[in-house]
């Protein structure tokens, strides 16, 4: 049977190829252009300044000025970590754990509030993969989400429980990456 009714989707961008975060940002752009309210929470990220931070802030302002909700309520992006996490058992820095906990609390609250039409949980799959966040806890919140809310989760090695729960799952396959030739991350393409 085909489900044709309008409903919020759970989308996962995973796999080893490049494009997981950029695809999520593209969808966020698309949703915001449709007058939807978009919240992007970036797990683990924090030390780099990504171009999307400024682009999203500018878009949010512009949407507010052209009749959308007030600034800060159209499209918002927040870095919730500090980048470069050390992981593995006792190696995991308690501060990084605390930041992931906080990011998850904010994420769960945002999803359940129904105030946002799309919530992007960028790099959350890494936090789960590193055992900093329990996949079942995430699944439980996704099961309870308001019907119309869309959620996108990114990062390699998506947890099987979340893959099972999701409606749309894309695995990015690496054909080649400039990094392998020793080419460093390029402005505008990687950050
Ligand atoms: P992007 O943010 O470019 O969409 P991504 O979200 O798919 O990348 P992540 O796993 O979040 O990839 O990795 C973040 C960084 O690592 C990005 O700068 C990205 O360009 C780079 N990267 C992604 N895939 C690869 C790869 N296969 N080899 C080397 N570096 C990669
Ligand atoms: Mg990414």
Tens-digit pLDDT profile for residues 18-56: 999 999 999 999 999 999 999 999 999 999 999 999 999
pLDDT of 91: 82
Question: What residues are paired with 75 via a beta bridge?
Answer: 38
Number of domains in the chain: 1
- Within a domain: 181: no
| Helices 51-65, 20-33: inter-axial angle, 10-degree rounding | 10
CATH of the domain at 145: 3.40.50.300
3-state secondary structure of 78: strand
191 CA closest ligand 1 atom index: 18
Tell me what percent of the residues of the chain surpass a pLDDT of 70.
Answer: 97
Residue 67 CA, chain-centre distance (Å), reads 26
Residue 183 lies in a domain: no
- pTM, full prediction: 0.94
Residue at 134 is within a domain: yes
List the one residue out of 168, 102, 162 whose CA is nearest residue 128.
Answer: 162
How many whole angstroms separate alpha carbon 101 and alpha carbon 119?
A: 17
Å from CA of 166 to ligand 1 middle: 22
User: What is the C-alpha separation between 159 and 36, in angstroms, rounded?
Assistant: 28
Nearest to 150 by CA among 164, 166, 134: 166
| Domain that residue 81 falls in | 10-173
> Which of 18, 43, 53, 172 best tests ligand 1's pocket when mutated (most atoms within 8 Å of CB)?
18
Name the closest-CA residue to atom 25, ligand 1.
18
Q: Which residue has the higher pLDDT, 187 or 83?
A: 187
User: Is 174's C-beta closer than 6 angstroms to any atom of ligand 1?
Assistant: yes
1 within some domain: no
């Amino acid at each position: 049977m085909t489900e044709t009714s309008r409903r919020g989707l759970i989308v996962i961008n995973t796999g080893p190829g490049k494009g997981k975060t950029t695809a999520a940002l593209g969808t966020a752009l698309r949703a915001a252009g449709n007058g939807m309210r978009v919240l992007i929470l970036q797990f683990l990220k924090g030390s780099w300044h990504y171009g999307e931070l400024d682009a999203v802030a500018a878009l949010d302002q512009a949407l507010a000025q052209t009749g959308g909700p007030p600034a800060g309520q159209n499209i918002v992006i927040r870095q919730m970590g500090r980048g470069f996490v050390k992981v593995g058992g006792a190696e995991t820095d308690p501060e990084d754990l605390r930041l992931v906990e906080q990011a998850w609390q904010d994420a769960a609250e945002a999803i359940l509030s129904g105030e946002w039409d799309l919530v992007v949980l960028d790099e959350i799959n890494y936090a789960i993969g590193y055992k900093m966040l329990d996949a079942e806890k995430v699944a439980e919140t996704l099961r309870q989400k308001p019907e119309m809310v869309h959620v996108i989760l990114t990062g390699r090695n998506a947890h099987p429980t979340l893959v099972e729960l999701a409606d749309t799952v894309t695995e990015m396959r690496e054909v080649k990456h400039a990094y392998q030739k020793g080419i460093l991350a390029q402005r505008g393409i990687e950050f």
